[in-house]
Amino acid sequence: MMAEAAQPAPASVGRGGRGVGIRSLTSGPRASPLAPGYGPGNWWWTSVLAWLIDRALPAGGPTGCACHAERPRIAKVLGVADLYELLVTADLPDDLSEAEVAELRWHLGLGPEPEAFTIVTGFPEVFVDDYDDPQVADSGEGSWETLRRPALAERGPAHRIGGVLFSELARREGPARPGWALTSRQEIHAAEFQGPTELIRWLSERVNDRMFDLSLHMRFYEDDVLQPASLEKDELVIHEIVSKTPSPPVLRLIADGKRIEAITQVRSDTGMSLEKARRYVDALRTGHVILV
């Protein structure tokens, strides 16, 4: 028996640059592929970040910027090791405009920043000030700036997933299937999936013919193998293939709402790691398991 468990990829939030403010692009955190409450230190880091921003910004928000007088919203903060490998391969049709190719090349780290954006349009905003001037930091003077970052542009040795990060876009010639071939291997933090997800949504819309294709694979950095992934309801979903069917005690514990006990039972039954057992149980609880 094989079971396929679909797990949604993490939410994406804005990330601060030189400034202290972070404006999330979402009203709150979305579902995560990690079990609810994953990472016992997450709540601690969220509290610390909230305290730092509270100390850095005066009541009412940054002065001199009436349009952003509210305090920046803080989405869920995940640990520094919440990294995923994302492998994207696509065969795109020949009807991409010059502007689309130029923007796509920028997102892959292959060209300069375009003048206009139509593929990925949602970028986070950061509050920029000058840490070297205590008066500026104390007064909160500064400005909100849009942080434009390519979606799939990292290159060189990976930090935790091993191997090399890269992105390539090549022209495919010939009468049978002219167009563009794309491959990208990236290491992405759980909090930075919004840009890649928006780019993948655009790729999926352009692959509207059976002669062309889009293939997605992902894995948590501690997992051994890549798993198939897909875009569902504007979120990347990992389809985790597992070879262990749930035992009757596990199913009874889940039916009784005893998630922690079910995780413990799964580990006892299968020898899974804690993280693997969490994802397995949560997939069973949400009905994202297909037995074949």
Q: pLDDT grade, residue 138 (50/70/90)?
A: low
Compare 234 and 156 and report the one with higher pLDDT. 156
Pair (237, 202) in one structural domain: yes
pLDDT tens digits for range 9-67: 554 433 333 333 434 333 333 333 433 333 333 434 444 444 444 444 444 444 433 33
Tell me the three state secondary structure of residue 143: strand
What pLDDT sits at residue 31?
A: 36
Structural domain contains residue 210 = yes
Pair (238, 250) in one structural domain: no
Structural domain contains residue 14 = yes
Query: Is the distance from CB of 120 to CB of 107 less than 8 angstroms?
Result: yes
* CA 286 – CA 281 distance, rounded (Å): 9
Query: Structurally, how many domains does the chain consist of?
Result: 2
Structural domain contains residue 157 = yes
Pair (252, 187) in one structural domain: no
Structural domain contains residue 292 = no
Compare 222 and 113 and report the one with higher pLDDT. 113
Residue in 139, 120, 117 with CA at minimum distance from that of residue 129: 139
* pLDDT over 60 at 89, yes or no: yes
Pair (220, 281) in one structural domain: no
Pair (196, 87) in one structural domain: yes
Average pLDDT of the segment spanning 136-151: 76
Whole-structure pTM value: 0.65
Average pLDDT of the segment spanning 247-267: 94
Residue 136 CA: distances (Å) to CA of 69, 128, 130, 132, 201: 16, 10, 6, 8, 41
- E strands within 142-234? 143-146, 156-157, 164-172, 179-189, 213-220, 227-232
* Residue 100: domain span: 3-243
